[in-house]
Structure 1
């Protein structure tokens, strides 16, 4: 129950935090800024509860620091800051910094200086506090920008009056029908998508209007000046050339130059593109989607892992309850003989089973839900959510009680039905010991003849008690399998990033340029490839609406592209090549879109819609990608192909070399941004899985110990007379222990081998279910997992063997051999 409750508790904790900080549902931005017209249009949308404008500037504070400064208003209701230390700013010379900035040595009361920046009136501020913002769920990542190294180091907030921007940077929006929906759930996402679509329709005319608002006054001014100069030039031209003096000719030349300059300015203004309005929901917030992907992965594992865990527990409980009733056969037979009804006799065992099932389930459920989710939440250290908020999982409590009753009451009912069918006289007699039989191994004479007497007895006993043998092997196999699956989950999580950037993507950096014809230079770059790299939104052309944010990569030429990206067929494992007949998409994207070779997809690039055909599906682990040729791009798009990016292969990937390369490149003209995908993908929704795996392994190991101890106890109690007999016959204590332990060793070895197969199947099933967002886990289990799962099981077998030895030493031979009549 504790594991099952973790997913909902993680979601609820995030939802409470976002509700407390009143995180907006949507952020509206524009490439040409936003005005009061935009604000009023959004404000009067019927679905809007609150809309708040804000300003923002990105500042390169130093060679190694990029900071985004946001406007702060005390009256603001959305995206409230959470104070970590100090207070919020109240004066124009005050500023609060991201709590992450503490690691850079900033302190309360310190003077904070920014370089002169367009959009900001002041440069010198006093640090009055450190804060967390709900816009940044991640505790480490602050997003990317086209300034400096391309990565934002931290954010800051200062009062709104410090800004002198005419346009707003963003409009934070809260819809009026999302308050009762839990963040991150499909219901919430569906509602936001619906409301966003209506808002987009409302602002549909604004991109062109915004362009006109921006260039209209300037264009009017240029036209007036141009008309004036053209009029003057016309007057000069009306003077006959023989009457024109040198001064007149110079004036005419000057007018022509002025007219040419104004015409160039007019042309440049007319080239201004229409504004692009962007609508970013919460998933665009840094770390937001990672957190919920992590939660969904844990929830997916929590459905399968406890189910298998419960199966083993039910198996062992069934054995224990069955054995308890079997031991009371004589008592049951006596009560039957005295005239008691079957129902009355059964009540003792039914009440016992119900109490054990209900009390055990409730106690375990309370203990699990109060400890495990909180512990797992505390281990998710890569986010700013510090306040745990659990929920009472009533559905899981009911499920746990039903499971407990199935294990206890179910087993008691089955055994009672079987026993109560017998006559009282048969019940009052002990069951005859199972007869020994020849086994298949005896027919293998060379092997059988080399065994000593004790070994032969042990192997005969194994097959003599077939039910116990099967139960023991299944129990041990289940625990070994659970442990191996746990180690396998850890391996898959740890291999995700290395496999993505070693097996699939072989480039280390991406440079974004303003000019598609430009090359970049740095001594750390070993090779570069021209490509068009754009973020697009992909959805099926028909069927259920399902959108995915995808990185489109279109190399200028396909020559040597395999040195940058390996396009390996997800189905056959063979290498694929880009052709002019369609696009190659990644495996997880194909799964989400229900796409295969020949499927048509819609791709939205900015405000342009492309219809593409899937030509192949490639292996990929992290992120959604679409690969296509430049020629095919021109076939499907009205926009001309422009390779404004460079895929870089670096000589050295060390942090110092990467940062130095970024600094060198950003100094070159036309370079807008430099990113390193491998090092910007540190979490990808997998950080918490590793910690959860440790819990699974520990619980599986504990269950393994219980299984072995329980089954060994049952084994001894069933064979008490047999063990007493061999002690009477002169067997020493060590020999009696070996007599039992030898069977346990064989069963343990068989259980370990069988458990490895179960673990592999369980691991594959869990990792497929745990694939959320753009993640496709590699299905790998490294050999240490096999070794450790076997060693732990063997250790528990040894511990149980030691306990068994002392139990066997204390067997009272006289009592055990006394007549049962």
Structure 2
């Protein structure tokens, strides 16, 4: 076997370029396949590690009556639960009356730990820790932070001693909503718990040790957490009654004392009346003084009764339960990682298939070229296995080296690069596990593409005898092609053009593989650009073509006029319309969608604020019967026009409505009803409780001030601006930028290597033909164009096919990447087509330049030697 082994190494050295090209193609395929597939799990695992290190609570509980030590003990009754009661409130303060979520810090707290960026945690009564994001507003250590009047703190001025991040706020741009200021939280802060002027804790954080081994976004975690949550609700069901009694008893103690005094006064009044009656022998039973005292007692009795009723109402304990998915930015992060994982199930697979296909072709051509060598070894008496062993080891070596390097590099680089680009989130503890499953798939596919090709071709070649193998494989005979039958066109072509077109169809397998390779690379490039454009288009279309109002103002039950006056007094105000805005759960068969926004307009000007149209673009007018449902909602319900759906408002009964139309919509779930349809369904008119407002362009500061003024009227519950929602959508597109960038770069590299490899195979197969042309007197440039014409035609056809395939691939990826809240339109702007085509043309030019240099140094004598 020693001569065969030497020959193997000699073969590898002699064909270094081809061997390296095979490795590079496999490496790129495996790098993309394993790396991108590791990105989604890497994002989830990194955030899981981060929140576990900071002991993020699994459940947050809020109560209308606060929490005591007894509540902490109650939570501990659930197996594995650890609970901490925290003082918490919202306040305004700072340089611009910023809204802050104010937490009472206790030394040694174990749940929702703060991660310091600089400074230290509060140690004295006058110290405060600010959100790390407050540094961007100019706050520094040692400065003073002052709260506005009305804040529930015992002192108004605090010294900034630290900046920190909190696992409760993983998204640096989202801090949630509040019931003070402009309704949007800017930062969180922490002061010593003793400095909050709050009688009892207002938040109960609960963490379960048994849940910390799960990925926080995994279904197993959700299932286990929900089981614990049900157990918590059971133990707190009885605790709510006990807590209500505690609060009521505490509230009625002073009322009871007042009632005792009132009873004594009433007895005194009765005695006085009896004395007056006795003195007058019954003719007079009262006097003006007694009447005045009786009136006072009656008034006092009424006040006590009202106080008792008020105490009873205020003592009713109701709980609000939250889990991690309710925290600001948490669900969006999970959706983003799921979106990347969904894309990773499609794009890298297609990428890898192209790489494997080209590798298969390369190995096939390599073995076919070595038929003379195979014939020689067979003539020397070597067995089939001994001969096949060389080519199998050659192919296997390339597969193992390429897949091993590609998988390791992909796992080490791509997920970490994507994590590094997630700078809008709190600093994550990078955790990326090696994807053994993806690596195994990549290795098996690589071996099939290389060793499989070698087995097939070697087996076929070994079936021939030594004499036949020692002769060159006869070239395929030329045949008339379809173009020749079009005489007016064929007669106008010159000799070189006719040869090129004949050669294209003469080697059909090479033509097909070249088109597939170029089309695949172009499709991958186009898909990368399309992903970027489609994700951005979701927000752009939603907030320019469908939703054209600028703010939704949620009204309280009274003082609507005050809110409207404040709106119209705003310089940027353009127009507004009242609507009834509700939330509903919608069902159809076994499918349901919760938290669907139900809008019922009150005027005919509704289409100036929301444009309803079918997915095909035809305008929709709200019908007098039935409902109009947004596109994604209808898809989730598996409902179509004419179906009956069940709608249950959060404040009303369940009704059945006919689905009258489906309107295009890219973000959120919506159901629209005309006033007549609402009245027919619920038997009463819809109560207007919100304004849709159109405003001129406003800065963020102007929006905050307007929301603050509206809240101050007392007639507004909150204001949401579409500009803020659009910013969130834009950030969603920004989060996908690193993934798209990776796709574009890797697709470009694969396209270049594929084109170089296929051209190299083409030249190697036709070296005798090209040498003959050169011997006949063709100049170097003409010899290069002999091949280049074919490549140019194949590139044009491949690019056109790539445009078609790219659109199909993008459509499928977008279907996989859509979530319950967001769907993406298929959009590829013209620069994407141009750049993809230009890149493919540039790759063709570079490859032909390299080929030109090679053809200048052809060993014509060696190539034309007769083997006989």
TM-score for both structures, normalised by structure 2 = 0.88
Cα distance in 2 between the residues matched to 1:582 and 1:221: 56
Answer yes or no: is the 8 Å Cα contact 1:178–1:191 preserved in 2: yes
CA distance in 2, matches of 1:68, 1:182: 28
Q: Which residue of 2 aligns with 1:696?
A: 743
Q: Does 1:337 align with 2:369?
A: no
Secondary structure class of the residue paired with 2:504: helix
**Counterpart of 2:210 in 1: which secondary structure?**
coil
Is structure 2 residue 340 aligned with structure 1 residue 298?
Answer: yes
Would you say 1:587 and 2:631 are equivalent positions?
yes
Aligned residue for 1:169?
Answer: 202
Match of 1:623 among 645, 668, 687: 668
Residues 516, 645 of structure 1: 8 Å contact kept: no
- 2:47, 2:428 within 8 Å by CA — same for their partners in 1? no
Q: Partners of 2:576 and 2:587 in 1: how far apart?
A: 33
What's the counterpart of residue 124 of structure 2?
Answer: 91
Contact 1:6/1:299, CA 8 A, preserved across alignment: yes
Alignment partners' CA distance in 2, 1:749 and 1:258: 94
**Partner-residue secondary structure (3-state), 1:177:** helix
Residue 662 of structure 1, CA deviation? 2.2
**How far has the Cα of 1:275 moved from its partner?**
4.3
Question: Residue 78 of structure 2 contacts residue 228 of structure 2 at CA under 8 Å; is this kept in 1?
Answer: no
Question: 1:531·1:553 contact (CA, 8 Å) conserved in 2?
Answer: no
- What does residue 481 of structure 1 align with? 523
Change in Cα spacing, 1:60 to 1:343, as seen in structure 2 (3 Å) is: same
Please say if residues 317 and 407 of structure 1, whose CA atoms lie closer than 8 Å, have aligned partners that are also in contact: yes
C-alpha change, 1:211 and 1:631, in structure 2 (3 Å) is farther
Aligned to 1:281: 323
Give 2:511's aligned residue: 469
Which sits farther off after the overlay, 382-391 or 682-691?
A: 682-691
Contact 1:54–1:168 (CA<8 Å) still a contact in 2? Answer: yes
Show CA shifts across 1:592-634 (max 9, x none).
444555455575838x885665625432222233445678778
CA deviation string 1:129-165 (max 9, x = no partner): 1100000010121111121111111111112222242
Q: CA RMSD in A?
A: 2.9
1:52 aligned to 2:84? yes
Q: Name the structure 1 match of 2:13.
A: none
1:428 corresponds, among 454, 470, 474, to 470
Question: What SS does the corresponding residue of 1:391 show, helix, strand or coil?
Answer: coil
Q: Are 1:675 and 2:714 matched, yes or no?
A: no
TM-score, normalised via structure 1 length? 0.92
| 1:801 partnered with 2:861 | no
Deviation at 1:638, TM superposition (A): 12
Q: In structure 1, what is the equivalent of residue 431 of structure 2?
A: 389
User: Which whole-Å CA distance do the structure 1 matches of 2:609 and 2:245 have between them?
Assistant: 43
CA distance in 2, matches of 1:635, 1:211: 41
Output aligned runs, 1:465-544, within 5 Å.
465-516=507-558, 518-519=560-561, 520=563, 521-522=566-567, 523=570, 524-533=572-581, 538=585, 543=590
Offset at residue 558 of structure 1 (A): 6.1
> Residue 20 in 1 paired to residue 64 in 2?
no
> 2:37·2:344 contact (CA, 8 Å) conserved in 1?
yes
How many angstroms does 1:195 deviate by? 2.2
- Unmatched tracts of structure 1, length 5 or more: none
Change (3 A) 1:747 1:733: same
> 2:600 touches 2:678 (CA, 8 Å); kept in 1?
no
- Per the alignment, residue 27 of structure 2 pairs with none
Question: Residues 222 and 611 from structure 1, CA distance in 2 versus in 1: closer, same or farther, beyond 3 angstroms?
Answer: farther
Indicate conservation of the 8 Å contact 1:583/1:612, yes or no.
no
Q: Quick one: distance in 1 between partners of 2:439 and 2:818?
A: 27
CA distance in 1, matches of 2:252, 2:630: 47
Per-residue deviation, 1:6: 1.1
CA distance in 2, matches of 1:14, 1:306: 24
Distance across 2 between alignment mates of 1:42 and 1:681: 40
Q: Which secondary structure does the structure 1 equivalent of 2:577 belong to?
A: strand
Residue 609 of structure 2, aligned match among 564, 568, 584 = 564
Q: Does 1:409 align with 2:451?
A: yes
- Distance (whole Å) between structure 2 residues aligned to residue 530 and residue 212 of structure 1: 42
Q: Distance in 2 between matches of 1:648 and 1:273?
A: 38
Partner of 2:799: 752
Contact 1:610-1:636 within 8 A present in 2 as well: no
CA distance in 1, matches of 2:145, 2:351: 56
1:3-402 to structure 2, matched below 5 A, reads: 3-46=36-79, 48-62=80-94, 63-117=96-150, 119-205=152-238, 213-215=246-248, 217-218=250-251, 222=255, 225=258, 228=263, 244-265=286-307, 274-402=316-444
Partner Cα separation in structure 2 for residue 275 and residue 297 of structure 1: 40
Deviation at 1:431, TM superposition (A): 1.0
Q: Secondary structure at the match of 1:527?
A: strand
Q: Which runs of 5 or more residues in structure 2 are unaligned?
A: 1-33, 278-282
Q: Which moved more, 1:193-202 or 1:779-788?
A: 193-202
Shift of 1:671: 2.4
SS, match of residue 157 in structure 1: strand
The alpha-carbon deviation at position 644 of structure 1 amounts to 3.4
User: What is aligned with 2:833?
Assistant: 786
Does the 8 Å contact 1:141/1:287 carry over to 2? yes
Query: Across the two proteins, how many residue pairs are aligned to each other?
Result: 815
- In structure 2, the partner of 1:774 is 821
- What secondary structure, in the 3-state scheme, does the structure 1 residue paired with 2:762 have? helix
Change in Cα spacing, 1:33 to 1:555, as seen in structure 2 (3 Å) is farther
Is the Cα–Cα contact under 8 Å of residues 585 and 614 in structure 1 kept in the other structure?
Answer: no
Alignment of 1:584-733 (within 5 A): 584-596=628-640, 598=643, 600=645, 605=650, 610=654, 613=657, 615=659, 616-628=661-673, 642-680=687-725, 682-684=727-729, 685-733=732-780
Measured in 1, the distance between the counterparts of 2:82 and 2:75 equals 9
Please give the alpha-carbon distance, in whole angstroms, between the structure 1 residues aligned to 2:402 and 2:42: 23
Q: Secondary structure at the match of 2:161?
A: strand
CA contact (8 A) 1:476 1:752 kept: yes
2: distance between equivalents of 1:630 and 1:197?
A: 40
Alpha-carbon distance between aligned partners in 2 of 1:161 and 1:37, rounded to the nearest angstrom: 20
User: 1:109, CA displacement in angstroms?
Assistant: 1.9
Counterpart CA distance in 2 for 1:233 and 1:713 is 116
Structure whose residues are more often helix by fraction:
2
Q: Alpha carbons of 1:704 and 1:83: their partners in 2 closer, same or farther (altered >3 Å)?
A: same
